[in-house]
């Protein structure tokens, strides 16, 4: 005996409705989370102090920071985004290219060359602010490293330049390491012959000082 056409259509309608309702209440697909074993990407974005000017490759800031993190057992990869001679304006120009590496944390070390060239601190501040805002748009955490102007630039210049780092950190609620060359500046035994760039031992001092700030940001990563 054949089923009547109307009951058959009713069964099909009810079944179709059940499928649609199940689809409506099914959980939405989520963006893939970082795998537990995937290392955090740290971009060291700066000038010759980051690039390791005048040193063998393995003695620069990035390799020494990587070694320190490895010894601690931290799952992180440090990317060298340092360019010798770079200014804050140069940083703005090449930032998007560096952010293509999708860093989770950015150590921002720029401004020393602006001060050495006597560039306007207000312009340097605008450039740093542009960099900070672009990085924050990606969701990456920022560790801003401060710099001090040469005292021969005059008191007014030094005051304006030195203040921009803590001001930017407070304004944008980002971490601050007050002085990148802390413990190294003005110490001849920790600097190369030019008196500006640290030796291997000088870099080790920098890494030891900044490491707790880096690990604090690592601990905040999901």
> Active-site residues: which are they?
48, 194, 197
Name which of 216, 137, 121, 203 is nearest 177 in CA terms: 216
CA distances from 136 to 103, 104, 140, 175 (A): 11, 10, 6, 12
C-alpha span between 210 and 109 (Å, rounded): 12
| Phi, psi angles (nearest 5°) of residue 200 | -55, -45
**b/e 4-37 (16+ beta carbons within 10 angstroms → b):** eeeeeeeeeeeeeeeeeeeeeeeeeeeeeeeeee
Structure-block tokens of residue 132: 């900070």
């Amino acid at each position: 005996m054949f089923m009547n056409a109307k009951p058959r259509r009713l069964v099909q309608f009810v079944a179709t409705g059940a499928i649609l309702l199940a689809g409506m209440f099914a959980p939405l697909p989520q963006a893939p989370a970082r795998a537990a074993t995937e290392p955090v990407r740290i971009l060291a974005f700066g000038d010759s102090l980051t690039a390791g000017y005048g040193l063998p490759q393995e003695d620069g800031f990035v390799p020494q920071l990587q070694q320190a993190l490895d010894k601690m057992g931290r799952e992180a990869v440090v990317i060298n985004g340092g360019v010798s001679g770079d200014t804050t304006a140069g940083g703005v120009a090449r930032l998007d290219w560096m952010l293509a590496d999708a860093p989770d944390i950015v150590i921002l070390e720029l401004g020393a060359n602006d001060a050495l060239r006597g560039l306007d601190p207000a312009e340097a501040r605008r450039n740093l602010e542009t960099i900070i805002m672009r990085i924050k748009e990606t969701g990456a955490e920022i560790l801003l490293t401060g710099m001090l102007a040469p005292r021969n630039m005059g008191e007014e210049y030094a005051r304006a330049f030195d203040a921009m780092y803590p001001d930017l950190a407070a304004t944008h609620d980002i971490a601050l390491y007050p002085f990148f060359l802390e413990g190294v500046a003005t110490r001849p035994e920790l600097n190369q012959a030019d008196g500006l760039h640290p030796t291997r031992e000088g870099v080790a001092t920098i890494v030891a000082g900044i490491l707790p700030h880096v690990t604090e940001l690592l601990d905040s990563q999901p």
